[in-house]
Structure 1
Amino acid sequence: MIERVPTYTADQVRDAERPLLEAHVPLMQRAAAALAAIAREELMGAPGARHFAPLEPVVRERADAPRPRVLVLVGSGDNGGDALYAASRLAPVADVDVLLVSERFHEAGFAAAVGAGVRWIELPEAADAGADYALVIDGILGIGASGRSALRGRAREAVTALLPLARRGGMPRVVAVDIPSGLDPDSGAADDAVLPASVTVTFGAVKAGLAAGRGPQLAGDVVLVDIGLGLEGVQPVGEASVSRVVTAPQG
């Protein structure tokens, strides 16, 4: 069911996050739990739910059935941390590869992912295996890129290497973390180096850029995850349609 919800700027969302982060509210873990649950739905074809229980291993009909493969693209910011913790939660049900597109990354999230059995790979292997993945999780850039959203360096190289699959119709489903990487969170501006998402899982509030410019074209279905931001007294900048609103586990 389509719902209309308010949209906010990146600055408004960061301002709402700040007191929670200072109080050590585990926003990243909430986001990662919801992201992993939605990614699991994409893999397993499960219907959506408004509240997510902890992930449990999937019992397959055949013990020798192949596990789905997942590629996780990881940047240097909090989106990369969300994606890494989600990868660790997906490891019981899928073969998960992580491609780091920056020399900086969320070290605790990376340790959790590797400890769960996730593989760290390089770009040539990811590009060669592109069509074999059932799902790609795009955790390269988030709202911290406002005003300078175009991908650069290894991030741009990785997306450019995967885009031909999309043009040939062989692209796996893509789940964008918060926003598609390379999309400006406020204006919706983007160049051609953006992976079009099948689903965008956006945290706390719908970013204005998802409903402006190229946002609707690149975001796919938008799922809004309530992670407990206090935006009730903040003036929204617009409205957007989302496919559903879900509540992240509180912890």
Structure 2
Amino acid sequence: MRGYSAQQVRAAEAPHLAAGEPLMERASAALARECVRMLEAEGISPAHARVVVLVGGGNNGGDALFAAAALARQGARVELVRTSSRVHEAGLAAALAAGATVVTRGAAKCAASADLIVDGILGTGTSPDPRLRGEVRDLVAAVVAAKPSGLVVAVDIPSGIHPDTGEVPDPAAVLRADVTVTFGGAKAGLLLSPARDVAGEVRVHDIGLAADLEKLTPLVVLPGDEAR
């Protein structure tokens, strides 16, 4: 498995975004499929599942919202927890139109008891310090402390890890994922400790970037038997 820097992946995305390719649509569809796979592997029908989506303000939040819409259309009870005043408006509209609802109180308890938590708070971003802060940090720390009873899927990376170095500066406020669904190529940090220990199984979905990334030198290369 090859691990690329956040900047390498952004550079690979740029021409596709400029050409108007639906990268978010591809990513959210892959995320929704993985959510269904995870639920069914636990014997839970998506039509009877309760899914809590932690929604950030960036593209990861958009991916999570469109995936939430897809799950709601399959009958899942989908509850959205906004962690930012700014969200992907089209994604939010799609999720609400499909039947998702917004949690206004008791978010940590709601998330901890869900069949599936979708961590769509932070993506690769550009900050050298990836830790969560303020109210969202308190929320995630409360969910972690409550020891979620269901599954956790991280969108692209678990929120609060460094995408390039694998640093986890505030482990008490990072949701340990069962599966990390990452797009285009694996982010290098997912393959490095200590982040690899909170990323769970890393599942890479190409959204049209494979040929671009193959031209680049990855930051990390793991032998096949080390990839998880």
Higher relative contact order (CA 8 A, sep 6+): 1
Q: What TM-score do you get using the length of structure 2 for normalisation?
A: 0.90
Describe the shift of the 1:19–1:106 C-alpha distance in structure 2 as closer, same or farther (beyond 3 A). same
CA deviations over 1:113-142 (Å, ceiling 9, x no partner): 0000000112x3222334431000000001
Q: Within 5 Å, which residues of 2 pair with 1:80-229? A: 80-91=61-72, 92-122=74-104, 124-166=105-147, 170-190=148-168, 191-192=170-171, 193-229=173-209
One-letter code aligned to 1:101: T
Q: Please state if 1:31 is matched with 2:27.
A: yes
When the two structures are aligned, how many residues end up with a matched partner? 219
Quick one: distance in 2 between partners of 1:157 and 1:128?
Answer: 13
Identity %: 47
One-letter code aligned to 1:94: A
One-letter code aligned to 1:231: L
Contact 2:109/2:143 (<8 A) preserved: no
Contact 2:166/2:194 (<8 A) preserved: yes
Q: What TM-score do you get using the length of structure 1 for normalisation?
A: 0.82
Q: Please identify runs of 4+ aligned residues in structure 1 that moved more than 6 A.
A: none
Contact 2:39/2:46 (<8 A) preserved: no
Quick one: distance in 2 between partners of 1:198 and 1:173?
Answer: 6
Decide which structure has greater helix share. Answer: 2
CA deviations over 1:185-220 (Å, ceiling 9, x no partner): 011111121001000001001111111231111100
Quick one: distance in 2 between partners of 1:75 and 1:45?
Answer: 27
Quick one: distance in 2 between partners of 1:76 and 1:189?
Answer: 22
RMSD, matched Cα: 1.8
One-letter code aligned to 2:66: Y
* Alignment correspondent of 1:73: 54
